[in-house]
Amino acid sequence: MVEFIILGTSSMVPTKERNVQAFYLEHNGEGMLFDCGEGTQRQLNIAGVARGKVRKVFISHWHGDHVGGLISLIQTIGNSEYTGTLRIYGPQGSKERMFHLMNATLFENKVEIEVHELVPKKGEELFFLETDLYKVSCIRVDHSVPCIGYAWYEKDKTRIDMATCRKFGLKEGPLIGKLTHGQEVTINGTIIKPNDVLYKVAGKKIAIIPDTQTTADLIEIARFADVLICEATYSSDHEEKAREFKHMTGAQAAHVATTAEVKRLILTHFSQRYPTIQPTLDEARAIFPNTDAAFDLMKITL
């Protein structure tokens, strides 16, 4: 099971209702953050997430509303019983930015930190991390500073069809174990192959498109995602501002979702200028009906 929590939904300026950007993903007990804006620790507390679960942080870019909570998170988990290494991934320049961040305040750092810089080529979906259970890719997007979007892929899972096993006379035990490890077994003179009783469950994909203007490359990172989290800073009434500051509108996000054939689109990163984001949501739904507007502490289970 994948649990995804949207911790903040505002753009540069937090509001009474919306914190700035951060997303929490938990899979098999491991916690990951995508961006870590100011107030992320508090949002984790409200969501009931132990901060010590966070093992990886994926930074889209180094604007303050996306990284302002990182130093306080490191300080807090360092004062807990945190073990292991905190791995931070981000665009070119992240090592230098982290050096300055860690030296901007005075505290005894007790956390082992690794910083990895990701430099995908234009149009390249760069797969940079793989475990037994998932893999993560990134793509370069077009913002005012170096910026990358991410896709998290859960690997396909193998399951055993126990109803079929019972038809063969198989019950829980060593023979089932052999089948799940790809070995043939024989029961009552019948050879049973793994493919006779095993089936695949497709893994889930979550794509995150951060601050950017629309480009064709966005389709690649979003393609066939179960959930696409996409910035929609402006409504189409302010499309010129979106172009000027290299952001997207709700309609543009919906076009990406349609072309990429995603299952669900969730808009986020809303400008504080709007008393309501309903117009932005409406214009997106007119193009891609399965669209929702994110709200702080929104939970998605896949």
Query: Active-site residue numbers?
Result: 65
Half-sphere exposure (Cβ direction) of 281: Cα atoms closer than 13 Å: 12
- In this structure, what token pair is assigned to residue 220? 């690649």
- Looking at residue 161, its amino acid is D
Q: Yes or no: say if 170 and 176 are a contact pair by the CB < 8 Å rule.
A: yes
- Looking at residue 256, its amino acid is V
Q: In what order do the strands lie in the sheet with 22-27?
A: 112-118, 85-91, 54-58, 30-36, 22-27, 2-8, 298-301
Q: Yes or no: say if 198 and 179 are a contact pair by the CB < 8 Å rule.
A: yes
* Residue 169: burial class (beta carbons within 10 Å; 0-12, 13-18, 19+): exposed
How far, rounded to the nearest angstrom, does the alpha carbon of residue 300 sit from its chain's CA centroid? 11
Helix, coil or strand: residue 76: helix
Angle at 294 between CA 34 and CA 285, to 5 degrees: 125
Q: Yes or no: say if 20 and 294 are a contact pair by the CB < 8 Å rule.
A: no
Would you tell me how many other CB atoms lie within 10 Å of the CB of residue 82?
19
